[in-house]
Amino acid sequence: VSPAVKYLNAYTGTVLLRCRKDSYRLLCSALPFVRCLESRAQRYPCFLNTLHVGGTIRTCQKFLIQYNRTQLLRLLQNCTNEEERQCIQKSLLSCSLTEEQSPSGDEEEDDGTE
């Protein structure tokens, strides 16, 4: 099967796994049985659940963006008071992504290769 971890976010508990097309069903059926991960002689309890199966990494990334938006809206709807809502909104606004410019100052075109 040889799955490969392509993305891991410890804060959201999200893992993006890549495997061969002919073995994705086997991987999806095995994931719920994983109860802990081991690294450097330490065990970490976990629960793995399949949220989405996509044909490409890009479609999986698009799904993750939409999924995180939905989860954020649920989080904001479950706020009990305005102070909690403002705290969440403030923490979101403090997060920003900036694009790095190439040394020549021109943006590189995305040709789909990594």
pLDDT at site 91: 80
* Same domain membership, residue 43 and residue 60: no
* Same domain membership, residue 77 and residue 42: no
- pLDDT tens for residues 64-94? 999 988 988 888 888 888 888 888 888 877 7
Q: Would the pLDDT of 110 be above 70?
A: no
Q: Is residue 106 part of a domain?
A: no
Q: Would the pLDDT of 113 be above 50?
A: no
Domain span at residue 82 reads 55-93
> What residue has token string 């963006």?
65
Q: Is residue 102 part of a domain?
A: no
Top pLDDT among 99 and 84 is at 84
* Same domain membership, residue 36 and residue 79: no
* Same domain membership, residue 67 and residue 31: no
If DSSP states are collapsed to H, E and C, what string results for 17-59?
EECCHHHHHHHHHHHHHCCEEEECCEEEECCCCCCCCCCCHHH
* Counted domains in the chain: 2
Q: Is residue 9 part of a domain?
A: yes
* Same domain membership, residue 41 and residue 9: yes
